[in-house]
Amino acid sequence: MKMDLWKGIAILAAVFMLLVSLLTIVNYLQIQRADPIHTETINLLVDRLNQNPQDVSLRDQIRELDLLVRKAYFTNQWQVRTGAYLLLISLAVFIIAMQIVEGRKKPQPELETEETEGFLSIQKNTRRWVAVGGGVLVTTALLLTYLTHSELENRFELAAQGKPEVEKQLPAKDSVVVVQNKQADVSKQAEVVPVPEVLPNVEESKEVEKKPVEVQPKQIAENEKIEPESPKKTEPSKTISEQTLKNNFPSFRGYGGNGVSFKENLPLHWDGPSGENVLWKTEIPLHGYNSPIVWEDKVFLTGANDERQEVYCFNGNTGVLVWTAVIDNIPGSPAVSPEVTPDTGHAAPTMCTDGTHVYAIFSTGDVVALDMSGSIVWARNLGVPRNHYGHSSSLLTYEDKLLIQYDHSNEAKVMALNTQTGETLWSTARKVKVSWASPVLVNTGSQMELILNADPLVASYNPETGEELWQLKCMMGEVGPSVVYADGVVFAMNEYASLVAIQLGEQATILWEDDEFLSDVPSPVATDQYLFVATSYGVLVCYDAKTGEKYWEQEYDDGFYSSMMMNGDHIYLIDKRGITHIFKASNVFEEIAASPLGEAVYTTPAMGDKSIYIRAEKHLYRIGM
Amino acid sequence: MSRHVKQRIVSWMALGCLLAVLCSFGMDASAQQRFPKPEFENGHTQPPTFTPAPRADFMEVVDVFVLILSLSVVTWLVLNKRSRKGVFWASIFSIFYFGFYREGCVCSVGSLQNVTLALFHTGYQIPYTVIAFFVIPLIYTLFFGRTFCAAVCPLGAIQDLVALKPYSLKSWVEKTLGLFPVVYLGLAILYAATATDFVICRYDPFIGIYRMEGSFNMLVLGAAFLLAGVFIARPYCRFFCPYGVLLNLASRVSRRHMTITPSTCIQCKLCEHSCPYGAIEKPVPAHTKEKRSGLVNNAIFLSLIIPVLILIGGYAGSLLHESLAKVNPTVRLAEQLLNEVETVDGIIPLEIEAFRSSGQSLESLYAEAAGIIQQFYIGGWILGGIVGLIFGITLARLTIYRYRKDYEPNKGRCLSCTRCMDFCPVEE
Amino acid sequence: MNKRLLLIFALILLLASLWFMLSDFFDDEPLTTTNPYEYNIDNYKIVDSSVIAWKETMNIPVTGDTIRSLGVDQQDNIYVGTFHKLLIYSKEGHLKNSFDVGGKVYSLFVNRSGKIFLGMKDHIEIWNRSGRKLQSWDALNSKSIITSIHCSDELVYVADAGNRVVYQYKPEGMLQMRIGEKDSTKGSPGFVIPSPYFDLLQGRDDELWVVNPGRHQFEAYNEKGQMISSWKKTSMQLDGFSGCCNPTHMAMLSTGDFVTSEKGIERIKIHRPDGSFAEVVAPPEAFEEGTVGLDLAVDSEDRILVLDKFKGAVRIFERK
Amino acid sequence: MEAEEKKYNRREFVNTGIRFSIALGLGGVAALVAKRSAGGELVWQLDPSKCIQCGRCATSCVSSPSAVKCIHVYDMCGYCDLCGGYFRPGTKDLTTAAENQLCPTAAIKRSYIEEPFFEYSIDEDLCIGCGKCVKGCGAFGNGSLQLQVSHNICLNCNECAIARDCPTDAFSRVSSDKAYSFKGF
């Protein structure tokens, strides 16, 4: 009786369980459908509403629908949860009932009624099935492998090494082509990524490739052509007296490059637009940032772009372009000009002359010596300079030597070439970064010294031998201004670094330092007493040369690129707009004149007889009375 | 009904005194200002950031304590009291405590994956409690047989409850299916060791029931196991459970295993069909002794081919390594990128998008994937080899037998459920 | 018979479960999932190319951690403040100098004489181009975050996002005035600054323009600190600003037009002095998603400089 | 009989040997593993700085609704009127009407404090952890809305189902005494 009751309960619980689970499943599926998150309709309606924000009925429809969906969702969720509890309870009831039912049944030992299989045959049968099971496993493994194996690991390893996959499906020939193409792509990519680094390399490699093929024979030919000539032309080497050099304007910033000229009666007032005191004005064919040099009645300039390199000679009296020498076909010269920035250009270094020849250097590393009539005496390439703006250090001569500061990122050195033949007399390697400053050659009392400014060294060399005389680690950055020397003190500076006054003596020592006003491009001038600094952003400052005390500062609206020139106690400084400010070299600021040229000027003026030569943006001017 | 309340009720029912000190741990007070928020003139105070504390650490220690306690109690019930009723109520307790209250995490079965992962990956920090859950049942089994399975394991307990109409399986079915847990264990270890997945946890059929929620598939799987469990007792324990493999091995050398009869067997055969798990070894009839010589030859032959079976298994496993490795998410991602399947139905899969924004290079991903496949290759050899070895041993063992004159539980397979004891007429 | 059937049924059930587990586990479907909860503002990121009147002409890669602030001097040299360094680039993008300033540069401004004003979270430091510290002003308070500086010859304006106020200083460092503070007695609504973006600049008539980013409003003040005009526009479309804190930065062209940068919908636009939308400098597609804090500067040639810390570059835009 | 006894003893001896070597091995493994253990308990948590709000937290969790919730870090909130986490993009009028709300389950409550500030709070029971508001707040606001595993709901599964599905590996086990990790703090 009791047994039947429990049995009934068990059956009831089972039926109930089935029903609840069915209902719960239905509900569960409904939730999936009515999930408010997945109601695309509401989102669509909202999009429509955004397009017609005034549609009130649409808005109300959204709100209503939202409410409905939400209600349905939560009701369903409640139902599922309740269902789960009911299910669990009914399961528990079912189990309890069944346990009781089963527990009440007194176990009846099942006596051996049928003949049991023999123990051994059971074992045998089991062995067979275990073996079958193993066989099934192995077969499945083989089958699966056969069906799905795709050499993934090898492919990954190849791909990890960046190698292209060999396409198996293609016939052999095609696959080779494919692989080659892909490899070509890969190498292309590899080149393109680090653009600034690799480009020069590419050029170099091109150069290397070409040399043996085309250029070599030419080189030999040229050498043969030039060399027999040069000894004929070579006049007995006459040392030109210092006075002659001083009377002329043989290099950037005058004789020795120290920013001092030795003239009298230079003009003070002029006016470019009206032509006042402008003796002549001539257009310059090709652009360049180099400054004019003067020898007697000849004025020399260079100009270049990425295709042509030219040297110009003007008649100083008339302004007529006397000759133009085209510099090309120099052995070793790169086929493509190196990339330079427009603010440096291909013709930034100023020429120099020793009265016999004129010398010029270009961004390509081409150095050329011409005679006064414009024919090439010798020419050679120093190796393409690796310089991200373009080479800009100017040239100097000392006796029979052409001195070249050649500080570049692939090779930094200072060298002297034979002015007659162009061969290297000495070359001293330097541990410096790229420098855009120019060398300065001064007599420091006991000897001639070639002083160079670069990051990180200010260093001096014996111009005869190239031996380093002294060096000081005190500079940094991308050095533009050249040094200036006065009375045993060398002044070096660079913007974003510092201004250093170096006392020469047994040992070069720092006399004083300052970092308030620093120049980026223009070079300073100095007297025994004063140092004058012009900054590229337009401030002019006077320091005490020995103590570093600042006497005065003067701010101009326009900045300066042009370097200062000192003549007597007058200092000439041209701003970017072309106005030449002439002021007294004294501890009180006194501007004598401000004379406009009417054209932008970035170069340094050259002082001639009672006149000044100025290279402006497009024209060469001679100013004088 | 919020989960909170549910948890409380369950914990009351289960432990009474161990009422949750849950969530009483205050707010995270580390809230420091990043950028000053507005100052309110009307004196509004900002509510605290809602950060409910996780279950307190000492509660985990309580879990370990409960585990040891229930293991001891069940062992005592099995070995000393020989009480089926006691074991039954112990399993009810386990269902409520380890099942409904602890919601099946962490269980000993899953802990073997954590231990494997910790062994192979030094970066993975395994909590002490997980180690305890792994080691303690094994130690108990080593000394007292599988009393853990009898009533402590919540997975076993729930199946034991529903084993209402158990029918015994043919020996060959039992043996053949009984080899699957080895494969399962191997797979679980392989996937845990490669930090790919916790397979056991993923296909734990009863966790959905204990949590009373889960994905549809998970619940259906649980229902299927319970349903099958009515007729085939404890199907998960016998034909799936990977931890059971370890317990089986440990139990074979157990010091004090339960016995069917409290003293001497009288060969009444009453217990012969009492075991729903087919774990009672019948006496070996004396006349089989005569055919022994043939069997010895068989045994020698089968022992000799064990190395061959290991090689075959290992080779098959190594062949499968790629299919096995494809479960790994890194390998899947790398494969898809390699095959240039970057969009599926015009949609860029999130994994690929995430990979792209991670900044990792394709090459390093491929290298990583190749490394993982290599791991699977080695793992495949080992896994296959071990499976081959087990098959070989099983086959070899099926040719030898020990002369047995009494009814005895198979020490490996016996789950110590004590059902058979009720059938034994022998009094102590 | 019945028993056998049940057994077979149970076994099949088990094998089916096993099959399900295996097939689910070794499921080899390609990865795909769409996000049903996608937060989608793509429609607002589409910009018609006809309104994009500028193009990127240069890109100066900036190395350094936490690239933060941008400035330009009279010579168009470009200054970038990073975690604790100041980098100076030439107009052409060559690194001229870099030096350690010992702190995070939240904002910077270079005055006419080349002095560099650095906003260092809670105080101002003045440096020169060679890396020498000339002056360091007193710290404000712990809440301060100096997000913008602008100086004329007579006055220095400092935007403090943390205190939601603009300070007016003398160039020597004397605090003159606090501008724009919330004050209900004076009916001053104050600046609403939900996140540390608060920019200011001086207009062509030396009037002070301040962004009130929480209200999407531009406010002009005279040197006495009185608001003299304002304009605002809230919209996700091109004609306005949206979200919590936009625009994040501004600059002014020589025409008096405002250049603005936004987060959320990453874009740079130009608004006329009256606030009406003029044109787009860079559409959202020019930036990585999630780009914030695009500091702006305009140089003497009216090039627009954008500090994109996500791409690690100063990006320069010029009119097409 | 005696032979049997002997055999039995030998078997017992071998068993004891095996038993102790297994126990020793187990102890060794446990000790090795324990040495690498951090000690305390570990809980699942997601790293908001890796989260891309893909929406899988809402669907992958074994709990429903998900144990991952949007948690409002009030200290970072700007209390904006135009909240990117609350309003659908492009909403014209800033009201709490259904058509303006971004949250699919309307789990965010907006309350007025004073001009011009509003406070946003989250109804935990409604939040499904989809991360939609998190993305909106991150894009336009301070990112004060962040997804986190809420530990009163998280079951601390041995292997988190969301961790398995997370495309950016943002889920990891963290020490339970640092159970929450907010970005920007």
Between C13, C35, C194, which is nearest B224 by CB?
Answer: C13
Asked whether residue A371 carries a pLDDT value surpassing 60, the answer given is yes
pLDDT, tens digit, for every residue of D77-118?
A: 989 999 999 999 888 888 898 889 999 888 999 999 988 899
Q: Residue B307 has which token pair?
A: 């190395």
Task: Please answer yes or no on whether B250 and D22 come within 8 Å at the CB atom.
Answer: yes
pLDDT, tens digit, for every residue of A555-594?
A: 888 889 999 999 989 999 999 899 999 999 999 999 999 9
How confident is the model at residue A221, as a pLDDT?
41
A98 vs B244 pLDDT, higher one: B244
Asked whether residue C238 carries a pLDDT value surpassing 50, the answer given is yes
Rounded CA-CA distance C147/C126 in Å is 16
A and B: number of Cβ contacts within 8 A: 140
Asked whether residue B117 carries a pLDDT value surpassing 90, the answer given is yes
Task: Please answer yes or no on whether A85 and B320 come within 8 Å at the CB atom.
Answer: no
C99 is a domain residue:
yes
Asked whether residue C171 carries a pLDDT value surpassing 50, the answer given is yes
C253 is a domain residue:
yes
Question: Residue A106: which pLDDT band, with cuts at 50, 70 and 90?
Answer: low
| C183 inside 8 A of chain D by CB | no
C23 is a domain residue:
no
Task: Please answer yes or no on whether B228 and C14 come within 8 Å at the CB atom.
Answer: yes
State chain A's mean pLDDT as an integer. 81
Region of residue C225 (left: phi > 0; alpha: psi -120 to 50; beta: else): left
Amino acid of residue D145: L
Q: Which chain A residues in 11-50 lie under 8 Å from chain C, judged by CB atoms?
A: 37-38
* D5 and D90 inside one domain: no
Q: Quick one: average pLDDT of B257-275?
A: 86
Least confident window among A405-419, A587-601, B348-362, C294-308: B348-362
Question: Residue A116: which pLDDT band, with cuts at 50, 70 and 90?
Answer: low
How confident is the model at residue A84, as a pLDDT?
86
CATH code, C157: 2.120.10.30
How confident is the model at residue A198, as a pLDDT?
35
How confident is the model at residue C66, as a pLDDT?
79
| Count of alpha carbons within 13 angstroms of residue C59, beta-carbon side | 10
Q: Which of A178-187, B72-81, B261-270 is modeled with the greatest confidence?
A: B72-81
Contact call for residues B367 and B401 (beta carbons, < 8 A)? no
pLDDT, tens digit, for every residue of B310-344?
A: 999 999 999 888 889 989 989 988 888 888 777 77
Contact call for residues C282 and C269 (beta carbons, < 8 A)? no
pLDDT, tens digit, for every residue of C176-221?
A: 999 998 887 777 888 999 888 999 999 999 999 999 999 999 999 9
Between A133, A150, A159, which is nearest B179 by CB?
Answer: A133
Q: Which of B193, B393, B139 has its CA nearest to residue D25?
A: B139
Question: Residue A623: which pLDDT band, with cuts at 50, 70 and 90?
Answer: very high
* D29 and D57 inside one domain: no
Q: What is the dihedral of CA C202, C208, C214, C217, to 10 degrees?
A: -90
* D28 and D87 inside one domain: no
How confident is the model at residue A209, as a pLDDT?
39
Q: What is the dihedral of CA C251, C98, C144, C256, to 10 degrees?
A: -10
Q: Quick one: average pLDDT of C240-254?
A: 91
Q: How far is CA A510 from CA A378, A475, A500, C131, C302, in A?
A: 42, 12, 7, 19, 43
Domain containing D25 equals 1-37
How confident is the model at residue D170, as a pLDDT?
92
A321 φ/ψ angles, rounded to the nearest 5 degrees: -70, 110
Q: What is the DSSP string of A564-602?
A: PEEETTEEEEE-TTSEEEEEESSSS--EEEEEE-SS---
Rounded CA-CA distance C122/C162 in Å is 9
How confident is the model at residue B148, as a pLDDT?
95
Contact call for residues A62 and A49 (beta carbons, < 8 A)? yes
D185 is a domain residue:
no
Q: What is the DSSP string of A89-139?
A: HHHHHHHHHHHHHHHHSPPPP----SPPPPHHHHHHHHHHHHHHHHHHHHH
* D66 and D150 inside one domain: yes
State chain D's mean pLDDT as an integer. 88
Between A130, A157, A165, which is nearest B179 by CB?
Answer: A130
Contact call for residues A520 and A495 (beta carbons, < 8 A)? yes
* D16 and D82 inside one domain: no
Residue A407 bridge partners (DSSP)? A412
Question: Residue A228: which pLDDT band, with cuts at 50, 70 and 90?
Answer: very low
How confident is the model at residue C276, as a pLDDT?
94
Please give the share of chain A, as a percent, with pLDDT higher than 70. Answer: 83
B87 φ/ψ angles, rounded to the nearest 5 degrees: -60, -40
Contacts of B377 (CB under 8 A, 6+ apart): A153, B318, B321
Asked whether residue B24 carries a pLDDT value surpassing 70, the answer given is no
Task: Please answer yes or no on whether B49 and D73 come within 8 Å at the CB atom.
Answer: yes
* D83 and D172 inside one domain: yes
pLDDT, tens digit, for every residue of A129-153?
A: 888 989 998 998 888 888 877 777 8
State chain C's mean pLDDT as an integer. 90
* D102 and D115 inside one domain: yes
Q: Name every chain C residue with its beta carbon within 8 A of the beta carbon of A496.
A: 88, 96-97, 129-131
Q: Name every chain D residue with its beta carbon within 8 A of the beta carbon of B124.
A: 36
How confident is the model at residue C80, as a pLDDT?
94
Asked whether residue B17 carries a pLDDT value surpassing 50, the answer given is no
Q: Name every chain D residue with its beta carbon within 8 A of the beta carbon of A62.
A: 98-99
Please give the share of chain A, as a percent, with pLDDT higher than 90. Answer: 38
* D111 and D150 inside one domain: yes
How confident is the model at residue D185, as a pLDDT?
61
How confident is the model at residue A175, as a pLDDT?
34
D26 is a domain residue:
yes
How confident is the model at residue B41, as a pLDDT?
83
D115 vs C317 pLDDT, higher one: C317
How confident is the model at residue A225, as a pLDDT?
41
pLDDT, tens digit, for every residue of B191-221?
A: 999 999 999 998 999 998 898 888 888 888 9
pLDDT, tens digit, for every residue of B367-379?
A: 999 999 999 999 9
At residue A191, the 3 state secondary structure works out as helix
Between C40, C44, C244, which is nearest D82 by CB?
Answer: C244
Q: Name every chain C residue with its beta carbon within 8 A of the beta carbon of D61.
A: none
Please give the share of chain C, as a percent, with pLDDT higher than 90. Answer: 58
C29 is a domain residue:
no
**A176 C-beta neighbours (distance < 10 Å), count:** 12
Domain containing C79 equals 41-319
D76 is a domain residue:
yes
Q: Indicate which of A99, A130, A163 best probes the interface with B, i.e. most B CBs within 10 Å of its own CB.
A: A130
How confident is the model at residue A234, as a pLDDT?
41
Question: Residue A190: which pLDDT band, with cuts at 50, 70 and 90?
Answer: very low
Contacts of B373 (CB under 8 A, 6+ apart): A152, A153, A156, B321, B322, B325, B331
Q: Name every chain A residue with its beta carbon within 8 A of the beta carbon of B161.
A: 95, 99
* D169 and D115 inside one domain: yes
Between B3, B198, B249, which is nearest D158 by CB?
Answer: B198
Count of domains for chain D: 2
Burial of residue A256 (CB within 10 Å: 0-12, 13-18, 19+) is: buried
Q: Name every chain C residue with its beta carbon within 8 A of the beta carbon of B199.
A: 25
| B198 inside 8 A of chain D by CB | yes
How confident is the model at residue A145, as a pLDDT?
84
Q: Residue A294 has which token pair?
A: 């003067």
Q: Name every chain B residue with its beta carbon within 8 A of the beta carbon of C292.
A: none
How confident is the model at residue C26, as a pLDDT?
84
State chain B's mean pLDDT as an integer. 84
* D75 and D12 inside one domain: no
Count of domains for chain C: 1
Q: Which chain A residues in 475-514 lie under 8 Å from chain B, judged by CB atoms?
A: none
* D149 and D169 inside one domain: yes
* D20 and D95 inside one domain: no
B303 vs C155 pLDDT, higher one: C155
At residue A530, the 3 state secondary structure works out as strand
Asked whether residue A350 carries a pLDDT value surpassing 90, the answer given is yes
Q: Quick one: average pLDDT of B256-264?
A: 89
Asked whether residue A203 carries a pLDDT value surpassing 80, the answer given is no
pLDDT, tens digit, for every residue of A462-494?
A: 999 999 999 999 888 889 999 999 999 999 998
D183 is a domain residue:
no
Q: Name every chain A residue with its beta carbon within 8 A of the beta carbon of B319.
A: 141-142, 145, 149
Question: Residue A39: which pLDDT band, with cuts at 50, 70 and 90?
Answer: low
Task: Please answer yes or no on whether D98 and A37 come within 8 Å at the CB atom.
Answer: no
Q: What is the DSSP string of B310-376?
A: HHHHHHHHHHHHHHHHTTSHHHHHHHHHHTT---BTTB--HHHHHHHHHT--HHHHHHHHHHHHHHH
D155 is a domain residue:
yes
Q: Quick one: average pLDDT of C69-75?
A: 92
